[in-house]
Amino acid sequence: MRRFFRHPVRLVPVGFLVAILLGTGLLMLPQASAEYEYTPFTVALFTATSAVSVTGMSVVDTPTYWNEFGLIMITVLTQAGGLGILTGAALVILVVARQLGLRNRLLVQAETAEYGLGNVRGLLLRIAAIALVSEAVITLVLAGRLWLGYDYPPGRALWYGLFHAVQAFNNGGFALYPDSMLRFARDAWVCLPVAAGTIIGGLGFPAIFDASRTWRQPGRWGVATKLTIWGSLALLVVGFVGLLAAEWGNPHTIGPYGWADKMLTVGTQDAVLRTGGFEFIDMAALDEESYPLLLGLMFIGGGSASTAGGIKVATFFLLAFVMWAQLRGEPDVTVGRRRVASTSQRQALTVALLSVALVAAGTTGLVALAENVRDYRALFEVTSAFSTTGLSVGLATTLGEPGRLVLTVLMYVGRVGPLTLGSAIALNTRRRLYRYPEEQPIVS
């Protein structure tokens, strides 16, 4: 057990795999489908992976294919996946901090205090409490709205509220409507709680705790927190303005709405775009110019150690700072009066390049395996699966088994993270006791 924890990086991929296989077994049971028949293995595997990885992509029509037991399973798997990520990430940060050892003890004490990680049990409870309170509030608002505004019976309203609240906070993306959230695109009582839950869950607790401790003094936030919070704000603005401009006159999306409804719909879709995965705008009807924007935002994703996927906001902006320093000819990479350690730079680089390689390989695989797939659709579904966003332009449901497996693998790898998965496989536990002489090759 102790040796195991010395390399916690190996626990993460195994933990997710166990959860997915358990979920697959349960979803295959006849008790889970509306027709009370066995669900094929690849469908159950896809759905379980999609739920545990909080992606929300589906190959069957969620509300009609599964019965209530199946839908409860999806809820439980989503909640387990989401909480597993949040608490697991907190544990990894703690363990990493401890491994830094005596040399950095003072630094670590300062840091763990700053992140509020002084006490493992306290930390986990705090995260669980925030998750459950957020979900309860969203459940009540949604249930109330469905009950009063749409005449649902109270029990049904509560179930629908709970289901979508869990999906929203965990950035899950499954919906009980065949058109996802399109019917609520202009209903602020649905849009706002879903958007708020998605943003909180997608920021991640390291950033939230750090920022909330010194929220009056943003200058004292850690580098990762600054990058995550200011970066997320910047991406929200870019997505909002870009999507509004591209779709303003599109008759198939927000064209017919008044300006206030346009802002509400686009703002909500923007909030759930990088990771949430609900559709408030029909993804298959978007203007051509919206797709590159969406691809970029999905690929970047949300906050570190959050329920969001992608390469992460902090990774993206850290790399921007690295490039800027290189172009300026600066010896150090500095973010807000702090030098960024070269290990962090190397980590960000590895995540970004592995992610580009995986998306390219996945798209190539999907194009090779599926018939008559236009590239941008394959690229969209692959990016959406890898970034655990779950948005779809309609390709996923038409894929055969090989194509489904490609997306299943991408959702798993995207959730575990290419860096974590790669390290779990490649990690060298023996240390080299000598260093080679340095050379400065000119490579471009």
Contacting a second copy within 320-359 (CB under 8 A): 322-330, 332-335, 337-354, 356
Please identify, using beta-carbon distances, which residue of 231 and 276 lies nearer to a second copy.
231
Please identify, using beta-carbon distances, which residue of 82 and 301 lies nearer to a second copy.
301
Torsions phi, psi for 362 (to 5 deg): -65, -45
Q: Which stretch binds K ion (CB under 5 A): 71-79, 153-161, 165-173, 367-375?
A: 165-173
Asked if 241 touches a second copy (CB under 8 A), the answer is no
Please identify, using beta-carbon distances, which residue of 81 and 277 lies nearer to K ion.
277
Q: Exposed/middle/buried for 237, CB within 10 Å: 0-12, 13-18, 19+? A: exposed
Three-class SS state of 417? coil
CA distance 174 to 61: 10
Q: Which stretch binds K ion (CB under 5 A): 1-9, 169-177, 292-300, 415-423?
A: 169-177
CA atoms within 13 A on the CB side of 16: 29
The one-letter code for the residue type at 125 is L
Tokens of 234: 């910047």
Query: Does residue 98 contact residue 6 with C-beta atoms inside 8 Å?
Result: no
Identify the DSSP state of 216.
T
Asked if 305 touches a second copy (CB under 8 A), the answer is yes
Residue list 374-393, contact with K ion (CB under 5 A): 390
Answer with the entry of K ion, a second copy, none that 277 interacts with (C-beta below 5 to 8 A by kind).
Answer: K ion
Tokens of 419: 């860096």
Answer with the entry of a second copy, K ion, none that 274 interacts with (C-beta below 5 to 8 A by kind).
Answer: none
CB of 56 to K ion, least distance (A): 4
Q: Supply the DSSP string of 170-227, one letter for each residue.
A: TT----SSTTTTGGGTT-HHHHHHHHHHHHHHHH-HHHHHHHHHTTT-GGGS-HHHHH
Q: From residue 369 to residue 388, what is the string marking binding to a second copy with x (rule CB under 8 A)? A: -----xxx--x---------
Tokens of 107: 């630094």
Q: Which stretch binds K ion (CB under 5 A): 48-56, 212-220, 236-244, 283-291?
A: 48-56
Answer with the entry of K ion, a second copy, none that 379 interacts with (C-beta below 5 to 8 A by kind).
Answer: a second copy
Which one of 116, 161, 173, 193 is in contact with K ion (CB under 5 A)?
A: 173
Answer with the entry of a second copy, K ion, none that 15 interacts with (C-beta below 5 to 8 A by kind).
Answer: none
Please identify, using beta-carbon distances, which residue of 226 and 404 lies nearer to a second copy.
226
Asked if 407 touches a second copy (CB under 8 A), the answer is no
Residue list 270-299, contact with a second copy (CB under 8 A): 288-289, 292, 296
Q: Which stretch binds a second copy (CB under 8 A): 58-66, 77-85, 156-164, 430-438?
A: 430-438
Asked if 414 touches K ion (CB under 5 A), the answer is no
Which one of 51, 318, 382, 416 is in contact with a second copy (CB under 8 A)?
A: 318
Answer with the entry of a second copy, K ion, none that 341 interacts with (C-beta below 5 to 8 A by kind).
Answer: a second copy
CA 92, 304, 163, 381 dihedral sign is: negative
CA distance 248 to 254: 6
Asked if 224 touches a second copy (CB under 8 A), the answer is yes
Query: Does residue 384 contact residue 309 with C-beta atoms inside 8 Å?
Result: no
269 contact partners, CB below 8 Å, separation of at least 6: 243, 279, 280, 281
406 contact partners, CB below 8 Å, separation of at least 6: 362, 365, 366, 369, 382
Answer with the entry of a second copy, K ion, none that 211 interacts with (C-beta below 5 to 8 A by kind).
Answer: none
Answer with the entry of K ion, a second copy, none that 441 interacts with (C-beta below 5 to 8 A by kind).
Answer: a second copy
* Cβ neighbours of 325 (radius 10 Å): 17
Answer with the entry of a second copy, K ion, none that 398 interacts with (C-beta below 5 to 8 A by kind).
Answer: none
Q: Which stretch binds K ion (CB under 5 A): 85-93, 172-180, 199-207, 245-253?
A: 172-180
136 contact partners, CB below 8 Å, separation of at least 6: 165
Query: Does residue 226 contact residue 218 with C-beta atoms inside 8 Å?
Result: yes
CA distance 205 to 122: 13
> 390 — alpha (psi -120 to 50), left (phi > 0) or beta?
left
Answer with the entry of a second copy, K ion, none that 96 interacts with (C-beta below 5 to 8 A by kind).
Answer: a second copy
Which one of 277, 302, 310, 403 is in contact with K ion (CB under 5 A)?
A: 277
Which one of 243, 319, 406, 411 is in contact with a second copy (CB under 8 A)?
A: 319
Please identify, using beta-carbon distances, which residue of 151 and 435 lies nearer to a second copy.
435
Please identify, using beta-carbon distances, which residue of 272 and 358 lies nearer to K ion.
272
Identify the DSSP state of 431.
P
